[in-house]
């Protein structure tokens, strides 16, 4: 019998949109008007905004990757340190027994 979580995964399985979904998206992209700023200062502002978005987007992803790597480092130290500490604890217990 499937577990509750298996049933949830099955219930929330990805669903396909309409068969022509991709074609409709591509049609909208092709039909989207290309806006051209008439004023040089508007073009300059748009360039600055785009540069900021670019930097923010890249920074956001690097932040995400860094946070991921940090969690992995902490996990690694927890696992490796735990095994080493266990071995050390046993050695100390054995030493204590042989001395008593």
Partner 1 sequence: MPRRPASPAAGLDFASLVRQHQAMVFSIAWHLLRDRAVAEELAQDVFLSLHQHLAELESPEHVQFWLRRVTSNRALDEARRRQRRPMVSLENAPEPVAVTPTGDPLMGAALRKLVAALPEKSRAIVVLRYQEDLDPAEIARVLGIPVGTVKSQLQRALALLREKLSRVVGQASGLSG
Partner 2 sequence: MKSAALPIALLLLAGALPAQQVKWNFDKLAARASESTDVSLDGALLQLGAKFLSDDDKDQAKVKKLVGGLKGIYIRTFEFKKPGEYSAADVESFRAPLHPPDWQRIVGTHSNEEGETVEVYIKNDNKGIGGLAIIATEPKELTLVNIVGAIDLDSLSDLGKHFNFPEVEVEKKK
* Interacting residues with partner 1 between 61 and 100 (CB under 8 A): 61, 64, 67-68, 71
Query: If residue 37 lies in a helix (H) or strand (E), which one and from where to where?
Result: none
Q: Give me the count of residues in the chain.
A: 100
Instruction: Report the candidate in 60, 34, 90, 37 with the shortest Cα–Cα distance to residue 98.
Output: 90
Neighbours of 81 (CB within 10 A): 10
Which does residue 4 bind out of partner 2, partner 1, none, counting CB within 5 to 8 angstroms by kind? partner 1
Question: Taking CB under 8 A as the rule, does residue 17 contact partner 1?
Answer: yes
Judged by the rule CB under 8 A, the positions of this chain that interact with partner 1 are 2, 4-18, 21-22, 24-26, 28-29, 32, 47, 51, 53-54, 57-58, 61, 64, 67-68, 71
């Amino acid at each position: 019998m499937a577990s509750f979580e298996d049933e949830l995964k099955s219930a929330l399985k990805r669903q396909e949109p309409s068969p022509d979904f991709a074609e409709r998206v591509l049609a909208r992209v092709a039909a989207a008007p290309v806006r051209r700023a008439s004023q040089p200062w508007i073009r300059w502002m748009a360039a600055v905004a785009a540069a900021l978005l670019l930097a923010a987007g890249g920074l956001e992803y690097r932040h995400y990757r860094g946070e991921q790597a940090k969690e992995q480092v902490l996990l690694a130290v927890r696992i490796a340190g735990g095994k080493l500490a266990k071995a050390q604890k046993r050695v100390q217990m054995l030493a204590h027994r042989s001395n008593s």
